[in-house]
Structure 1
Amino acid sequence: MTTTADPKVGGGSKPIIEGRRNLATRIAVYIFILVPFAALIAAVPFAWGWGLGWVDVILAVFFFYLSGLGVTVGYHRLFTHGSFKANRPLKITLAVMGSMAVQSPPITWVADHRRHHAFSDREGDPHSPWLFGTSPMALARGFWHAHMGWIFDHDVTNKERFAPDLMADKDIVAVNRLFVVFTGLTLVMPAVLGGLITWSWWGALTAFFWAGLVRIAILHHVTWSTNSICHMIGDRPFTSRDKASNFWPLAILSFGESWHNLHHADPTCARHGVQRGQIDTSARLIWIFEKLGWATDVRWPTEARLAKIAAK
C-alpha cells in the first residue's frame, strides 16, 4: 500500500537519534507524566462526597480545550504537517497553548511525530504497538509501549533532521525555551482563578487538582490513545502504508484526532473527520481561523483526493 508523501517528515542522511536524555530531563519526564497520572487515580476517592464543584468542572473543561486544541491544531496540524499557514500572533498563541498540555516543547513534539510518520508501524517509529510481534503477549507489550512506555525511552529524536524549519523559527524557539514557564502557568492559572472565583484557599486547591493535575493527566491519555488504540482497533476506509485506523469513541475527546486512518492516508489534510457524521472540532477551529483571516492556504479535502486514497 502507498500513502501520500508528507514533505514535513524529514529525511536525508542525518541519524534518527541525536543523543540521550540527560538525568534532569529524565526526572522531569517522570514527574510530569506520573504525578498527573497519580492525581487521576486519586480523583475517585477524592471526589467521593467532597472536593469537586462546578467551578472546578468549568475550569477543567476550559483548560482541557485550551491546551488540547493547542496540541491538535498547533503542534499537530500546523507545525508538524503544515495543514495551513498561520499569521504570527496565531502561530505563537497555538505554540503556547500546546505547551500548556505538558506533552514536551513544540520542537521536540514535532520531531517525534514527524519521525512517527516517516517510519509508521515500522522499525524507527517511536511509538508503534506492532514492534514486538502479533502474539497476545507481544500486543500487550506493544500497547503499553505505544500508549506511554515509549515516553520513558531515553533516546532523543534528531531535531535537526525532523524539525529544521522550527529550529530556524525564532518565535517557536523562544516558546520552546520557555516551556518550563508555560508548564508552571498551566498549573498555577487554574488555582489562581479557582481561588479568586470562590474567594477561598480551598477553591484554589481543588481547582489546582482538578483543572490542573487531573486535566493534564486525562489529556495525556487521550493523546496517547491515538498512538496506541488508533493503531490497533477501528475502521480503515482509506489506504495507508500502516495500521492507522478510525476509532469513533475518542472523536470528541481527541478533538477529531481519532479519525486517524484518513490522517495517515493524507497527512497534510487539515480535516481528519471527512466522512458524514465524523466530528472534528480541530478542523472547525481552523475553519474559523480561516474565516477571520488568521489562517491561509488551508489544505481542505476534496472529493477527487478522497476518491484517490479510498481503500479498494
Structure 2
Amino acid sequence: MTATPSHARARRLPRDLALVTVAIGAAMLAVNMVMLLWPDSPDSEQLRSTYALPGVWIPMVFSVGMAWLLAAALAWSHGRNALEKRGVDSVARLSHLRSRYGAAYAVVLVLNFYALSPLLYEVQLLFMPGGRLQDFFGPDSMRTAMAAFMFLQSVVQLIVLVLGVWVAAWFALRAGRAAPSAMQDDEAIGSSPRRAVALVGASLFASLQMWSGVVVSRWTSVASGMEGLELLLAWMVPPLVAFALALWGGWLGTSAGLVRVRPFRAVAAAVLAFVLVQASCIAIALAWLVLSMWARGHDSAGGLIGFALALVLAYSVLVVVLMRATTRGLYRRYL
C-alpha cells in the first residue's frame, strides 16, 4: 500500500491521543488553579499560602502526574489498538479524530471537576468530626470509616479516569464503520512492539503505584515529618524505581519476534502484576509481624530496619518476576 500523508497522520494517532490527553488535563488544571488562586476569589491568599507548603504541592503534583501518565498510556493504547484492528487505511479515512477525542475528553474532565468531585467532597464531610455519620459510627470507628471512604473515593476517581478515556476514544472512533483493511505489519504501523509493550506496562504499573501512594498519604502520616527535598525524593524515587523494574520485567516477558502490540494485553499484564505484587508484599509483612510477635522481637529497631530493607528487595524482585510472568502469560501465543 502506497504511503500517503493521511496514512502518516493515522500512524501518529496513538502519540497524538496521548498528547491531547495530557494537554487537556494540563489546561483544566490551570483553569481550576487560576479560579482558586485569583486575587479577587474568596480565601485566595490563604489558599496560596497552603499550596506553597511542600507537604501540599508535592503530593498534589505527583497525584496529577499519576493521572496524566495513566490517562496518556490508556489513550495511546486506544489509538494503537484502533490501528492494529482496523488498519492504517481504515483509520486514515476517519475525519477529525483528534478534535472529537479532545472534545469528549474535555467534557468528561469538566464533569469530573465540577460535578463528581464536589459531590464526593460533600459525602466526605459526613465522615468528618461533627458530621451526620459520627453518631452512627461512633467516635472510635470514625477513623476507620473515614479511611474506608477515602479509599473508595480514590477507587471511584480512578474508575472515572479510565472510563473517561474509554468514552472519549469510543466517541472519536465510533464513526469508523468501514471494513478494516488487511492487517498491517509493525513496520507499517510504526513502532517496535516489544518496546511498546514494555513501556505501556511500565507506565500503567508506575501510575498505579503512585495512585496507591496517594491513597495511603490521604489517611496516614507516614511522611508527616518530611520537608523539602526529603519529601520530594520520597515521592519521586519510588515511582521511578517501579517504572524501571516494570519496564525490565515487561521487556523480559516479550521477545523480538512480537509482531503486534495488542496494547490492552500489556495493560492487563501490568494491572495483574500490580495486584499480585501488593498482595505478596502484604502477605510478607503480615508473616513478619506474626513471626516477630512470636519471637518477641517486634520492638527491635534493628529488626524493623532489616525487615524494611528485605521488603524493598522482595518488592524489587517481585515486580520484575511478576511483570515478566504476566506479560509472558498474556502474550505467549503471539511470541
Please classify the TM superposition score into its range, dividing by the shorter chain length.
under 0.3
Higher relative contact order (CA 8 A, sep 6+): 1
- Name which one, 1 or 2, has greater alpha-carbon Rg: 2
Q: TM-score, normalised by structure 1?
A: 0.26
**The structure with more helix, counted as a fraction of residues:** 2
TM-score, normalisation: structure 2: 0.24
